[in-house]
Structure 1
Amino acid sequence: MDDLVVIGAGPYGLSIAAHAAAAGLGVRLLGRPMASWRDHMPDGMYLKSEPWSSNLSAPDGRHTLAEYCATRGAVAEHGTPLPIGTFSAYGMWFARQAAPAVEEVTVTEVTPQGDGFRVHTAEGPPLLARTVALAVGVMPFVHHPEALRDLPPDHYTHSTGHRDLTRFAGREVAVLGAGQAALETAVLLAEQGARPCLVARCSRLNWNTVPQPLNRPPLHSLRNPHSGLGTGWRSWVWSELPWAVRRLPAHTRERIAATALGPAGAWWLRDRFERRVPVLLGHRLHRAVAAGERTRLGLTTRAGESVVLDVAHVIAATGFAPDLARLDLLDAGLRAALATVGEGRAPELSPGFESSWPGLFFAGLLAAPSFGPSMRFVHGAGFTAGRLVGGVRKRLGARGPRSGSPGAARLDRADAPGRCPGPGAPPGHPKTYLR
């Protein structure tokens, strides 16, 4: 039985596994490394955050993005946008340098087993684990506007559904949203020969300003400090004090997670966008119907006027909604038993990222209603990894890790492939591919 199974091999999963291995735990890391970044972002995208705030977390502080770029002759400097492909390659390099070997398997279900867990995979017999950390990224939680859900599946997609946008060349595409994903997707569509139109409820688009130099006079730094989530005291609090956010009342944390650091475009994208992409601002989508191979969107302006937009395809760049009900790989009875944050659908977590079910830990988006908006960004992995592993060690308690050597990736699996019934376990779950 392994001390810890980490499910998901993105920035959070890789960082947690690196800290667990360094702590001497018997850890298994399951998933496709950097899958969201490699498989669900179009060619030509750039990292919005600054390179110095986009490091994965290793216990010794090494294996940074700057270190990787230096070995490749690439630039990773403040104020210079970094290609998504470079960041993805960095994550793969980190996986080789700092984390236990990644096992590229598909986890289909996690069920309770005694005082631990049984982890089922599509590729072989199940694993037994004393603790489990779910770091599944954002893909299980993609959000589509309600009005789109009755359309035929080929009429609309989420912005994460495209690695290559060239198939839309010459076609009219409505892009829904006002954040970086919507703005950059629209620009890339236009630059690759499509005819995009951005549709957003807001009356104006927000754009980040050009970042201030890292080295500034002390008074300037005091008035407007840099942080991993941007410049200013509010961003600094979200970035540096997630532990303080967790101490706030549940309804306050829910509001912060839902509204802080709202939609905005990167400063370096603005000129490209304004030269190429028409916009319909202040328009709310209320209806979508298929008309042959095309889609007609019924929009309403703030003045109550109706507008019809006829397009070949709709791309919803409408973000992600943390919701335990959509985490199909987790046993249904176990999901139903978890305490949640206030009226929301995200797990209430301890200071060590442990849920109300002993031994079950969460990282990333599902932790945002507990620890704040930094959990939506790569930067939050630095806060999460060490604390979560500390929580795992506390849960393991006086029994100590069972690994044969520090950081060993143990090979023992459950003897029988049968399912542990667990409370309320349904007859089966669909496969969930790790991100």
Structure 2
Amino acid sequence: MHDLAVVGAGPYGLSVAAHAAAAGLDLRVFGRPMASWRDHMPPGMFLKSEPWASNLSDPVGAFGLADYAATQGMEVRHGVPLPVGFFASYGLWFAKHAAPPVDERMIASVRPCPGGFRLSTEDGENVLARTVALAIGVMPFIDIPGPLLGLPREQVSHSSHHADLTRFKGRDVTVIGAGQAALETAALLAEQGTSVRVVARSGQLNWNTLPPPLSRPFRETVRQPHTGLGCGWKNWLYAESPGLFRRLPAATRARVFTSALGPAGAWWLRERFEPVVETGLGESVANADPVDGGRVRLELVSTAGRVRVVETDHVIAATGFTPGLERLGVLDSGLRATLATVRPSSAPEASPVFESSHPGLFLAGLLSAPSFGPSMRFVYGAAYTAERLVAGVRRRLGARGGAGGGAVGGPVGGSLGTVRQRQASGADRSPEPTTAGKSRLS
């Protein structure tokens, strides 16, 4: 029986795996590395985050984004957006050098068993582990507005369903939403010759401003400090103090999770978007019906009660992700029924070390955001999560009489040995960033 099974191989899963391997845990990691970034974002998208706020986490900081860029003969700079594809390649490099080998099979189910958990892979193998870390990303939690749910997949999709937008060349597409995913998807569509409009409930679009320089006068720094989620003291609380956030009343945490860092477009996108994309603001979809020719008839209602009708070939809902137990199909239904939640949401509650109310089941990424705050919606939260989650796993293994300190199961290659040598000597330690920018979802 393994000490730990990590389910998911995105930024959070790989970061947890790197810390767990360095701690000497016997672990298995499952999932296609960086799948959301490789399979669910079209070419031409850029990171919304600053490069130094987009690092995966290893114990000594030896495998940051800047380190990968250096291997490619590049330099990452503040205020210069990076392609999503470059970030995905960085994640694959991190997986190769900082984490144990990843089993790319998907986990079909996780259920309790004596002494821990039984995980079933998609091809039927059973794997036993004393503890499990769920780092399953955002894809199980996509949101599509109710009026669109009855439409066939040919007529409606979520923005995360598209690794290629060229199928919409020469067609008419309506994008629902006002955040970065909606605005960037619409801009990419328009730039390839698609007739596109954006429909959003908000009365105006919000745009982030150009980030100030990292080096600023002391007075400006104190007034608006850089943080992992943008400038400002409120963002500092979210980015740098997830543990304090967790101490807030559950209802407050649930409210802040749904309202903080609301929809906004990146500063560098605005000049591309505004000249080419039609916008319908202050409107929501009241009804959607298929019509002849494979098109969709949308009934849009404004905040003032006015109704207008739009016909379109396809609707893309860029309407975000909401974590909830009802969407955690990978977990045994009996186990799900026992988990405490962050009321009034249905998201599972997490302890200070990211452990759910079921002993040995740990949560990472978006699943933990209602407990720890908005930073867990972004790559920036991976470092805070990985260090504390692995400490929690070791504590739980100790309580169970597990190994918690033996050799890592299976070969991990020379890189992890190098990491351990650096950790012991303190050599080649990457400096900790003193400021950070808003990170994209992970």
**CA shift for structure 1 position 406:** 3.0
Q: Which residue of 2 aligns with 1:51?
A: 51
Distance change >3 Å, CA 404–CA 200, structure 1 → 2: closer
Work out the CA distance in 1 between the residues paired with 2:73 and 2:276: 32
Q: Deviations over 1:238-271 (max 9, x none)?
A: 0000000000100000011111000000000000
Conserved in 2, the CA contact under 8 Å of 1:25 and 1:401?
no
Q: Which residue of 1 aligns with 2:415?
A: none
Structure 1 residue runs without a partner (length 5+) = 412-434
Work out the CA distance in 1 between the residues paired with 2:411 and 2:342: 35
Q: Which residue of 1 aligns with 2:438?
A: none
Work out the CA distance in 2 between the residues paired with 1:175 and 1:166: 15
Query: So what's the TM-score if we normalise by structure 1?
Result: 0.93
- Superposition map of 1:52-201 within 5 A: 52-201=52-201
User: Would you say 1:251 and 2:251 are equivalent positions?
Assistant: yes
Distance change >3 Å, CA 254–CA 398, structure 1 → 2: closer
- Superposition map of 1:363-374 within 5 A: 363-374=364-375
Work out the CA distance in 2 between the residues paired with 1:190 and 1:34: 27
Distance change >3 Å, CA 400–CA 71, structure 1 → 2: farther
SS in 1 for 2:269: helix
**CA shift for structure 1 position 337:** 0.6
Q: Deviations over 1:18-38 (max 9, x none)?
A: 000111110110000000000
**1:189 counterpart letter in structure 2:** L
User: Aligned-pair RMSD on alpha carbons?
Assistant: 1.4
Q: Which residue of 2 aligns with 1:294?
A: 295
**1:391 counterpart letter in structure 2:** G
Conserved in 2, the CA contact under 8 Å of 1:28 and 1:410?
no
Q: Deviations over 1:254-302 (max 9, x none)?
A: 0111110000000000000001101000111110000020001100112
Query: So what's the TM-score if we normalise by structure 2?
Result: 0.91
**CA shift for structure 1 position 410:** 8.5
Structure 2 residue runs without a partner (length 5+) = 413-441
Between the two proteins, the alignment pairs up a number of residues equal to: 412
Q: Which residue of 2 aligns with 1:229?
A: 229
Work out the CA distance in 1 between the residues paired with 2:172 and 2:115: 55
User: Would you say 1:357 and 2:378 are equivalent positions?
Assistant: no
Work out the CA distance in 2 between the residues paired with 1:398 and 1:332: 26
Distance change >3 Å, CA 357–CA 410, structure 1 → 2: farther
Q: Which residue of 2 aligns with 1:348?
A: 349
**CA shift for structure 1 position 153:** 2.2
Conserved in 1, the CA contact under 8 Å of 2:298 and 2:311?
yes
**CA shift for structure 1 position 404:** 8.8
Q: Which residue of 1 aligns with 2:330?
A: 329
Conserved in 2, the CA contact under 8 Å of 1:296 and 1:311?
yes
Work out the CA distance in 2 between the residues paired with 1:74 and 1:360: 40
Q: Which residue of 1 aligns with 2:407?
A: 406
Work out the CA distance in 1 between the residues paired with 2:271 and 2:46: 15
Percentage of matched positions with identical amino acids: 60
**1:204 counterpart letter in structure 2:** Q
Work out the CA distance in 1 between the residues paired with 2:205 and 2:80: 22
